[in-house]
Amino acid sequence: MRKMKRALWVAALIVGLSSLAEAGVVPAVASCSLGTMATYSATGFSCTIGSLTFSDFSYSSASFGGATAVPADGITVSPITSGSEIGFEFEAPWSVSSDQGEDSAIGYTVTATAGTISDLVLSMAGFGVRNGGNVSIGETSVTPPLSLLVFDNLSGAQATDSVTGLNLLTITLIKDIALAGNNGVATLSIVDNTFSTSSVPEPTSILLFGAGLVGLAGYLRRRHLSNS
């Protein structure tokens, strides 16, 4: 009975050390919370949602024809934390009328602290066009080269686009939000960006756990030989 208790104690110690090592890999970054692009795009800002860390936020805007560009503090950023997909909702009163145009660019880097990034979804809501107006959101990544597009114009509307089957540790995205009134109007309220992750054990934890099992097997073998 004493031998069994000692073996179980050693096994528990190994598992505990592996868990501590895995926890030590994850940086201490605050959870993402409700804010504005002015807060998120501040120098050095980063935050986490689940196993994803978001950093290096950037924002720029421009307008012409008398339209008012949306400032950084005019965009509400809400973390999406429910369901299988996590990410952000960006909400602002994008709007242009005849002969006006407006453009906003939102960028950030996503890094998986456990597992990998498997899927990416871009969507929009609260949009509308009239008399030739145009709303489009193009999202791109350089590495790997990805491109998503949602839009509403004379040719039709597509509110959601996605890329699946990814296996990425990190990705940097740029969203180009463009509205053109042309001879009519165009409006947009919400842009969503969500991610799915696949769970993969941390390499450090696998090595430590494997080494622990080998050590445990050796310990039990030595105990068996000493009692033979």
Based on the domain organization, do 98 and 58 belong to the same domain?
Answer: yes
**What six digits make up the tokens of 137?**
């959101």
Looking at residues 41-54, what average pLDDT do you find? 97
Number of structural domains the chain divides into: 2
Return the H-helix or E-strand segment holding 25: helix 2-25
pTM of the full structure: 0.78
pLDDT tens for 207-217 read 444 545 445 55
Domain membership flag for residue 67: yes
Containing structural domain, residue 165 = 31-200
Domain membership flag for residue 228: no
Name the pLDDT band for 1 (thresholds 50, 70, 90): low
pLDDT tens for 185-197 read 999 999 999 999 9
Phi, psi for 191 (deg, rounded to 5)? -125, 125
Based on the domain organization, do 52 and 154 belong to the same domain?
Answer: yes
**What six digits make up the tokens of 70?**
């949306």
pLDDT of 15: 47
Select the more confidently predicted residue: 36 or 23.
36
For residue 114, give every residue at least 6 positions away whose Cβ sits within 8 Å of its Cβ, in sequence order, or none: 26, 51, 197, 199, 200, 202
Based on the domain organization, do 67 and 130 belong to the same domain?
Answer: yes
Based on the domain organization, do 73 and 18 belong to the same domain?
Answer: no
Based on the domain organization, do 133 and 171 belong to the same domain?
Answer: yes
Based on the domain organization, do 35 and 108 belong to the same domain?
Answer: yes
Looking at residues 19-37, what average pLDDT do you find? 71
For residue 163, give every residue at least 6 positions away whose Cβ sits within 8 Å of its Cβ, in sequence order, or none: 119, 120, 146, 148
Based on the domain organization, do 45 and 92 belong to the same domain?
Answer: yes
Based on the domain organization, do 14 and 83 belong to the same domain?
Answer: no
Based on the domain organization, do 151 and 164 belong to the same domain?
Answer: yes
